[in-house]
Structure formats: C-alpha cells, structure tokens
Amino acid sequence: MNSETILDEVQKLLTPEQVNTDREDLYDASADRYKKYAKARGVLDVPMPLAIVYPNSTDEVSRLLQFCNENRINVIPRAGKTATEGGLENWKEQTLVIDALNLNKIIKLDTYNMQATVQAGVALQDLEDELRKEGFTTGHSPQSKPVAKLGGLVATRSIGQLSTLYGGIEDMVVGLECVFPDGHISRIKNVSRRSGGPDIRHIAIGNEGTLCYITEVTVKCFKFYPENNRFFGYLVKDVESGIKVLREVMANGFRPSVARTYSEEDAAQHFYHFHKNKCVLLFMAEGPEGIVDATCRGIEAAAEKFKDGILEQVDSKYIEDWFNNLNWSQQDIDDEYEGMKEHDSHAGFTTEISADWETIPKIYNSVIRRIRDEYPRAHELTMLGGHSSHSYINGTNMYFVYNYDIHCAPEDEMRVYHHPLQKLIVEETLKFGGSMCHHHGIGKFRSEWTKDEHGSAYYMLAKLKEAFDPNGIMNFGTIFPQEEGRKYLS
Amino acid sequence: MNIICVVKIVPDVDSFAYDYENNTLIRENIRMILNPDDACALACALKVKAGRPDCSIEVVTMGPKAVKPHMEDLLRLDADRGTIISDPAYRGSDTYVTSRILARYLSTRQFDVLLTGSHALDGDTSHVPAQLGEELDLEQMSGITAVDFERFDSRRAVFEVEYESSVVTWEMALPAILSLDRESGYTLPYVKYEDFQRDVSGKLTIIGNPELGFEPGEVGSDGSLTEVVRTYTQRFETRERRIVRNDDAGIEDVFNFLLEKGFL
Ligand SMILES: Cc1cc2nc3c(=O)[nH]c(=O)nc-3n(C[C@H](O)[C@H](O)[C@H](O)COP(=O)(O)OP(=O)(O)OC[C@H]3O[C@@H](n4cnc5c(N)ncnc54)[C@H](O)[C@@H]3O)c2cc1C
C-alpha cells in the first residue's frame, strides 16, 4: 500500500483531525532524546513517520493496529516523549506513531482499595496531583514525572526516585488493558494477588511498544505523610564506602525512600553548595511516624558502623532543598533543546546498569578505568562519574553520567561520543554479570546487546515477539535486534 | 603561501575544582583545551587556505608532550604539519624565554605570515606575539577581529582591529605577525567522522633542545628575566544563601536584590 493510500485509509478509520501530518511534528516524532542533539541541529538521519495519530478509545487503537498489521505498517506507540534510548526513533519508511494524547482520562481513584485507574495518556503528575488532594500518592516519582505518561512509564518498566520504599512500576501495576497487533484487546483484572499461571502483566510491562499497545493501567496508591519526611546527608571517602552504608541499611531490612551514593564528579554537579569535591551519601525516610523513626535509627546505626568511610555529616536542610528541586519539567527539556541549537554542548548523557552489592563497585571502577584508558576522546570529557540511586536487598544500580565538549559534526555525535561510552559501560557490566539496562529500557541503541543481556532466556523473549507480533509491525528495531536497522546504529 | 599558527594548549579554567578546606584550586585532572584566541587564528588560517591549493599551514606549539592528542586533532582538520616543542629543560620558562625558544624554531622555517591569538586564558600577559616580533624582526598587530580574505596574500593582509570607540582597517605588508581576538568569531570546523581515527603521526614532529641547542642557563627558570614572586588563588567568601519562592514575595525579593546591587 502506498503512503498516500495509508493516510487516506487512516483518516477514514479515525477522523482527519486525529491524523497529524505537520512536517515539524513529524520531524520531532522521528527520534527521541537519544539523538537529541542531532535533532536540535536539524540533521536527523532517519525517515519521518507518515503521520501521528491520536485514537480516542481502546476500540480505535484496536482498529488502527489491525489495519497496520494487515498492511505491514510499522507502529510506534507514544506517550510522554521522554524516552532516552531510541524507543521512539523511527527506522521504517512507513510508520504510524500512535500517540496516547486523547487517552487522557483518570478513570477512577479508589482510595479505599488503594488503587487508581487511568488511561495511558494521563501524565503521572496529573494523577499524582489528584491523589495528593486526597492525601495519597502513587509513590512513583521519576525525574520525568511532570512530563512522562502512564502508558510510557509502564511500557519502559520505569522507576521513580522513591523506589527503595515504593518499588519500581512493576511493583505498582495492579492490572491493565492492552491491545495486540491483531486487534485483540486484553484486560488483566485488578486483584491483590493471584496464582493463575505466569504473571501476564509482565508481557505488557516493559514491552516498549514491541508487543502491544497499553491503553489503561491501574496502579497502587499509598498514604502520603510529607510531614514525617527526614533527610540525611554525608560526605564519604569514595563510592565504595557509600555503597557499604547503603547495603547495611537495606540488608538490615530498612526501606528509606531515597538512598543514594554519588561519585565526587557527579556530586559536584548536584550539590555545588556543600560537596567539597567529595562523594556524597544521602537518605530520605518517609512514611508513618514510627516507621520513619525506625528507619532513621537504621540509617544512623549504619553510618556509625562504617564511620571510617564517612568524612562528615551534612546539614539535612541541604538534602531537603535538593530533593525539592529534582524533577525536569517540559520547560527544562525545551530549554536544553534551544541551547543545543546554538551551542556545541548539551546537558550530558547517562547509562544506567545494575548488579549485586559485591559487583557494583567492581563495575564502577572498571568502567571509569577503561574510559580513561581506552576511550580515544577521553581528553574531551568534561564530566565522568555516577551515582547509585535505587537499592534492593540484594544489590543496587549505577547511573553513569558523562558529558563532553562536542568537536564533531552534530550528526556524528552519537558515534563519536555517547555510543562508544555506552558500549564500554555495557560491555563491562555484562562481563561482570550485571544488567545493562536498569530502568530506561533497551530502546534501539542497546538492542545490539539484547541477546547478551538475556543469554539463554532470550529464547523466551523471542517467542513472545513471534507469538504476539508475527508480522513485526510493533516498534521495529526496539528491544529485538534487527540487521536492517544497523545502518542507524552508531 | 605558507602560514604558521603559533598556538597554546591551556588549562580550561571552567574545569578547575576548588579545595574548600585549603581555599586553593585543585590542579590535578584539569582538562586542557586549545586557547580560544588561538583557535580563531587557526580557523582564520583554514579559511585563507580553503580553495588555495598552494597554501600550507603549520601549527606550532610549545608545551608538555601530553598536548599530542590535541595537536593530532588539529592535524585532522586541514593543517599540513604540526610541531610540538617540548623539553624538560624548558619547564618554568617565562614569556621572554618562551618567545626566544619559539623564535629560534620559527627562524628555521619559511613562512609568509605568523598567526597567533591575542590573549591566553591562563597567563594573559599577551607578551609572546610581540616578543616574537622583536626576536624575528617582524611587525606585529594584536586584537584582530576580522580579516579581509579577498585581500590576504603572501604580500599583504587587510584586517580590522576594534578599539574602544572605533574600528580601524589596517593594511600590513607581509611577512608579519597577526594576532587574532576571539571576537573575530572564526570557529574551527568539525573533524570529519572518518578522520577521527586517521593516523596523523607522519605530520607531527616533536622537537626539543637537542635540535634548538640552547645553553642550560638560557632556558627554563634560570634563563627567565621575570620571576613569579607569588601566586595565590582568590579566596572566595561564603555568601549568605537565601531561598525564595516563585511567588510575588520571591519576585519582589530578587528584584530588590538586583536593584540594590545596581543591576537594574
Ligand atoms: C529528564 C528525564 C528524566 C528521566 N528520569 C527517569 C527516571 O527517574 N526514571 C525512569 O525510569 N526513567 C526516567 N526517564 C526516562 C523516561 O522518562 C521513562 O522511560 C518514561 O517511562 C517514558 O515515559 P513516556 O510517557 O515519556 O514514554 P515515551 O517516551 O512516549 O515512550 C517510551 C517507550 O514506551 C513506548 N510506549 C509509549 N507509550 C506506550 C503505550 N501506550 N503502549 C506501549 N508502549 C508505549 C514507546 O514506544 C517507547 O518505546 C527520564 C527521562 C528524562 C527525559
């Protein structure tokens, strides 16, 4: 089917107002924040989608997917547009972006049963604001909270900054509704728990738009006790010393909502008013008073036990200030975009990995050493460091953070800088047995390592793709490696 | 036409970390960059060269051998030859000795014009270009903000210098030394992706005192006429920190603060 006919047919399936073919919008829809700099400079090397479509209902999503499936048209599901790993990048000549803009209803706030049901296009901030009015919270607080939407947050297996207490999105999703390429609508019911075979929620959670389109989700909600929040900050000797304290707190069974260790370089970016060029360790305890008190005692006991690694305690007011100014708004994202148009620089890149307690410091040290020794443009790095920001009983994550002066053409930036750096991080992580993708998803630019990430279990992932998307119309190139897409890889 | 660019790789002042306990700058892990004025000089040379197959550019720098990756990148642009003058004996040389060392090397080279920057981010004495003029018996002009590329050949150059209240167009006979100012806005082109890994070692020469033959007492701090008596880092006071909200009272506060400090 040629492109013109596709557009005609889609307009008949929906209404013309629901089909956007504005050139600027299509250019914007060609890539996400992975190629943010090339995008801002107007030099993207990927095809533009044919249209962005805005279904008004699950039925419309179903009809659209069925149409695309029958005509082999690539589909990119889209929500808040904050994807960082190429999940929204287009690698096909015939693509429709299905945007959840009009699926924007908060369906039910059920605070007795402690759950809330929303459509996929509801911004997390909007849900959070509604819950707060009633004294509740989603407990989900990614830095992109003001912009990201529930469909995207579930599709990427996102995680919030309070995860150490509330968990990742996978711990919050109760049930959901999703649509498969053949048009089938599945509703996974909302129950507190069940043992009804494998947990099929996980087919949708984290699918990054490669298996199904998520139209509705029900998430847990929690009582909100902001008045009990307590903060702790310390300057520590090195990353390893900070991680030891994090481990102690977690292993002893405490669940602070925030538990982080920053390298010197990363601390200098965030805590300019107190970092003193040292690593920073910080905690936030929240919840009912008694739990907060116990958590605080747990934190203090851990800090005391490892006091040799602690240089000094920081005024908790600083940590509270920092916490209150963490999130990125749409304005911040737009400001960075405008800045990139004029300057050979941006706000930097990140690669987030995870591993057990023992392995994380090894990966961290090894990555930093390899970048310094092997990366040919190491002399242009203006920043290289990282932080651990999500801890579990058995391990933690490491968020590598780096920035550089850009001395190449905008279209080459990824292959000269970010991608080789990410490659070193991924290689070291996989070598040590960690995971290369703690919370941003695989997207398109880590798909070359999906098989290494999953090893023999990749079989299960590949079977899901074969079963649910046999024609391969869902988000071509994302998660599942594609030879044809290699030309867009670095 | 032969152009020689004399450049310096300098510490990036923005990358300095501050030791709050001892109130000093931490000089380890400092990032090095091509001095911004010198980048304009090379960018200008590349513009002159564009479309003139007879034109060649040599980039000359004096400094530690660690500047090699920076020089290699300049050679991956369209510079034809690079020379690093590096010798442990030259460490501690003042601007006078540095100029003599550079001049001794430059006097062995054929060139029509020397392009340099006007100021350096680190020392900022602006001595070297003028002293090179003295040593090499050449005219020198600083603060160049624009070059007339139509009227730039091996005999003469026409360019503009911005003064406080006027812009003067000069015509100067070559050979001479022209020192560019960053206000010129000449920017270096990007290195092409295919060239990032290009081996340019054949174009880069490292020379030292065996080639230039100074006596030990003539160079380094011994040979220097000037001496740094004391360097100290500016002490930064801890300022009072006030957090205001994004509301009318906060806006009023910021407004009054700016007014009080004379910004409004
Ligand atoms: C400033 C900033 C801060 C960030 N901080 C965090 C953080 O703290 N924690 C974190 O986890 N992530 C973070 N991210 C990454 C990003 O916000 C998350 O991945 C988020 O979950 C994406 O949601 P979105 O609504 O923007 O989705 P989009 O960017 O629109 O899409 C993301 C992916 O999900 C797919 N998708 C979107 N909607 C659907 C749907 N309805 N059905 C099926 N698939 C769909 C897309 O195809 C794409 O692959 C950050 C990003 C930015 C820019």
The tally of domains found in chain B comes to 1
Residue B65 lies in a domain: yes
The answer on pLDDT for B147 being more than 80 is yes
Smallest Cβ–Cβ distance between A277 and the set B17, B190, B243 belongs to B17
Over the stretch A255-287, which tens digit does the pLDDT of each residue have?
Answer: 999 999 999 999 998 898 889 999 999 999 999
Tokens of A194: 């069940």
Ligand 1: lining residues by beta carbon, under 6 Å: A 32-33, 76-84, 87-88, 100, 120, 142-144, 148-149, 151-153, 155-156, 158-159, 161, 208-209, 213-214, 328, 439-440, 475, 478
Give pLDDT, residue B17.
Answer: 65
What is the mean predicted confidence (pLDDT) over A421-436?
98
Percent of the residues in chain A that have a pLDDT greater than 70, as a whole number: 100
pTM of the predicted model over 0.80: yes
**pLDDT bucket at B22, cuts 50 / 70 / 90:** low
Pairing of strands A106-110, A115-119: antiparallel
Sheet with strand A95-99: strands edge to edge: A19-20, A51-53, A95-99, A74-78
Mean pLDDT of chain A: 96
The A-side interface with B (CB below 8 A) comprises 268, 273, 276-277, 321, 376-377, 379, 381-382, 405, 407-409, 412, 415-416
Residue B245 lies in a domain: no
* CA of A150, closest atom in ligand 1: 25
Contact assignment for A277 to B69 by CB distance below 8 Å: no
* CA of A204, closest atom in ligand 1: 43
**pLDDT bucket at A471, cuts 50 / 70 / 90:** very high
Q: Which of A39-48, A433-442, A453-462, B17-26 is predicted least confidently?
A: B17-26
Q: Could you give the CA distance from residue B83 to residue B58 in angstroms, rounded to a whole number?
A: 8
Q: Scanning every residue of chain B, which has its alpha carbon at the shortest distance from the alpha carbon of A322?
A: B243
Q: Are A420 and A375 in contact (CB under 8 A)?
A: yes
Residue B252 lies in a domain: no
Ligand 1 test: best mutation among A32, A74, A95, A144, most atoms within 8 Å of CB?
A144
**pLDDT bucket at B164, cuts 50 / 70 / 90:** confident
Pairing of strands B139-152, B176-180: parallel
Give the start-end residues of each E strand in A304-405.
Answer: 310-314, 349-356, 381-388, 391-392, 395-404
Residue B82 lies in a domain: yes
Give pLDDT, residue A74.
Answer: 98
ipTM beyond cut 0.85: no
Residue B242 lies in a domain: no
Over the stretch B171-216, which tens digit does the pLDDT of each residue have?
Answer: 999 999 999 999 999 999 999 899 988 999 999 999 999 999 999 8
Residues 6+ apart with CB under 8 A from A177: A58, A185, A186, A187, A188, A214, A215, A216, A217
Q: Which CATH architecture has domain A1-224+441-490?
A: 2-Layer Sandwich (3.30)
What is the mean predicted confidence (pLDDT) over A97-119?
98
What is the mean predicted confidence (pLDDT) over A455-464?
98
Ligand 1 midpoint to CA A131 (Å): 21
The answer on pLDDT for B240 being more than 90 is no
The answer on pLDDT for B123 being more than 90 is no
Task: Give the residue among A322, A307, A238, A320 at the shortest CA–CA distance from A279.
Answer: A238
**pLDDT bucket at A488, cuts 50 / 70 / 90:** confident
Q: Which of A355-364, B1-10, B34-43, B115-124 is predicted least confidently?
A: B115-124
Residue B257 lies in a domain: no
Give pLDDT, residue B58.
Answer: 98
Give pLDDT, residue A127.
Answer: 98
What is the mean predicted confidence (pLDDT) over B124-131?
90
Instruction: Select from 3.40.50.300, 3.30.70.120, 3.20.80.10, 3.30.70.3450 the CATH code of A226-324.
Output: 3.30.70.3450
The answer on pLDDT for A93 being more than 90 is yes
Over the stretch A178-209, which tens digit does the pLDDT of each residue have?
Answer: 999 999 999 999 999 999 999 999 999 999 99
Which residue ranges does chain A devote to CATH 3.30.70.3450? 226-324
Mutation site, B190, B236, B240, B242, interface A, largest A CB count within 10 A: B190
Contact assignment for A376 to B193 by CB distance below 8 Å: no
DSSP-assigned states of every residue in B189-222 = PPBPGGGTT---GGGEEEE-HHHH---GGGSHHH
The answer on pLDDT for B20 being more than 70 is no
Give pLDDT, residue A459.
Answer: 98
Q: Are A257 and A165 in contact (CB under 8 A)?
A: yes
Give pLDDT, residue A461.
Answer: 98
The answer on pLDDT for A408 being more than 60 is yes
What is the mean predicted confidence (pLDDT) over A361-385?
94
Contact assignment for A407 to B21 by CB distance below 8 Å: no
Percent of the residues in chain A that have a pLDDT greater than 90, as a whole number: 90
Length of chain B: 264
**pLDDT bucket at A413, cuts 50 / 70 / 90:** very high
* Domain containing residue B9: 2-235
Give pLDDT, residue B235.
Answer: 60
Residue B59 lies in a domain: yes
Q: Scanning every residue of chain A, which has its alpha carbon at the shortest distance from the alpha carbon of B244?
A: A321
Encode burial over A437-460: b for 16+ CB neighbours within 10 A, e otherwise.
Answer: bbbbbbbbbbbbbbbebbeeeeee
Percent of the residues in chain B that have a pLDDT greater than 90, as a whole number: 72
Residue B222 lies in a domain: yes
**pLDDT bucket at A403, cuts 50 / 70 / 90:** very high
The answer on pLDDT for B125 being more than 80 is yes
Give pLDDT, residue A345.
Answer: 85
**pLDDT bucket at B246, cuts 50 / 70 / 90:** confident
Mutation site, A263, A375, A408, interface B, largest B CB count within 10 A: A408
* CA of A212, closest atom in ligand 1: 43
Answer whether B241 touches A (CB < 8 Å): yes
Length of chain A: 490
**pLDDT bucket at A426, cuts 50 / 70 / 90:** very high
Smallest Cβ–Cβ distance between A407 and the set B32, B73, B243 belongs to B73
What is the mean predicted confidence (pLDDT) over A18-42?
97
* DSSP state letter for A327: P
Ligand 1 midpoint to CA A348 (Å): 18
| Numbers of helices and strands, H then E, in chain A | 19, 19
DSSP-assigned states of every residue in chain B = -EEEEEE-EEE-GGG-EEETTTTEEE-TT--EEE-HHHHHHHHHHHHHHTT-TT-EEEEEEES-GGGHHHHHHHHHTT--EEEEE--GGGTT--HHHHHHHHHHHHTTS--SEEEEES--SSS---HHHHHHHHHHT-EEEEEEEEEEEEEESSSEEEEEEE-SS-EEEEEEESSEEEEE-GGG---PPPBPGGGTT---GGGEEEE-HHHH---GGGSHHHH-S-------PPPPPPPP-----SSHHHHHHHHHHHHHTT--
Facing residues of A123 across strands? A149
Pairing of strands A95-99, A74-78: parallel
Give pLDDT, residue A91.
Answer: 97
Helix, strand or coil for residue A258?
strand
Residues 6+ apart with CB under 8 A from A51: A7, A10, A19, A20, A21, A26, A96, A97
Q: What is the CATH number of the domain that holds B42?
A: 3.40.50.620
Q: How many CB pairs under 8 A join A and B?
A: 38
